[in-house]
Amino acid sequence: MMLANLLSAEQIIPEMLAGERWQAIEEIVNVLVEAGRIAGKDKPSILAALQQREETMSTGIGFGIAIPHASSDCVTEVVAGFGRSKGGIEFDSLDNQPVHFIVLFIVPRDQFQTHLRTLAAIAKFLNDRTVRDELGSAGNAQEILKVFTNRSPRG
């Protein structure tokens, strides 16, 4: 799976407005609804699934990265969105540092292996400091998408 295949420019927020994790999660879900990737009627259910996952343990994994994710019957394929915050978002991260990069994804409920592979691929991708630097300096959604396209492992 190539991470860039999960995103389009419409699913990327170059500068998030949110200051904390619940606002950030809702901001990205709103963009996915606007992009037609999630049905508006499914938004409450998807937000509830993401919130349930977050309450188990924050998906702020450190290094300014958060990967909120959930399984849902509301999607038939992996749906993802990306948000960047230069100022940082309070996410209750494992390292207690603000989050600058958020990749949110929802996987069909019956695709556990896809869920694990997607999570691992995103974590590995964002673990690369060069990738984070390029994402941080990208000027707009198209440039952010280009980083995902050029840097994503293929396979």
Dump pLDDT digits (tens) for 44-83: 999 999 999 999 998 999 999 999 999 999 999 999 999 9
The pLDDT mean for the chain works out to 93
Catalytic residue at 69? yes
Both tokens of 84, joined, read 């960047």
Count each helix (H run) and each strand (E run) in the chain, helices first: 5, 6
Flag whether 17 is in a domain: yes
Q: Is the separation of the CB atoms in 53 and 69 below 8 Å?
A: yes
Flag whether 155 is in a domain: no
For residues 118-123, give the mean pLDDT.
Answer: 92
pLDDT of residue 155: 43
Q: Is the separation of the CB atoms in 37 and 43 below 8 Å?
A: no
Flag whether 98 is in a domain: yes
How many domains would you assign to the chain? Answer: 1
For residues 78-89, give the mean pLDDT.
Answer: 96
Distance CA 47, CA 43 (A): 6
Distance CA 49, CA 104 (A): 12
Domain extent for 92: 9-149
Flag whether 2 is in a domain: no
Query: How do residues 15-49 score in pLDDT, each as one tens digit?
Result: 999 999 999 999 999 999 999 999 999 999 999 99
Q: What is the pTM of this model?
A: 0.94
Flag whether 1 is in a domain: no
pLDDT-derived band at 107 (thresholds 50, 70, 90) equals: very high
Q: If 0-12 CB within 10 Å is exposed, 13-18 middle and 19+ buried, where does residue 125 land?
A: buried
pLDDT of residue 4: 84
DSSP output for 24-52: HHHHHHHHHHHTTSS-GGGHHHHHHHHHH
Q: 21, 69, 84, 100: which is the annotated catalytic residue? A: 69
Flag whether 91 is in a domain: yes
Domain with 88 in it: what CATH number? Answer: 3.40.930.10
Both tokens of 95, joined, read 């390292």
Which single residue is written with the structure tokens 């958020």?
A: 102
Percent of the chain at pLDDT exceeding 90: 92
Give the contacts of 76 (CB within 8 A, at least 6 positions apart).
108
Distance CA 74, CA 78 (A): 11
pLDDT of residue 153: 61
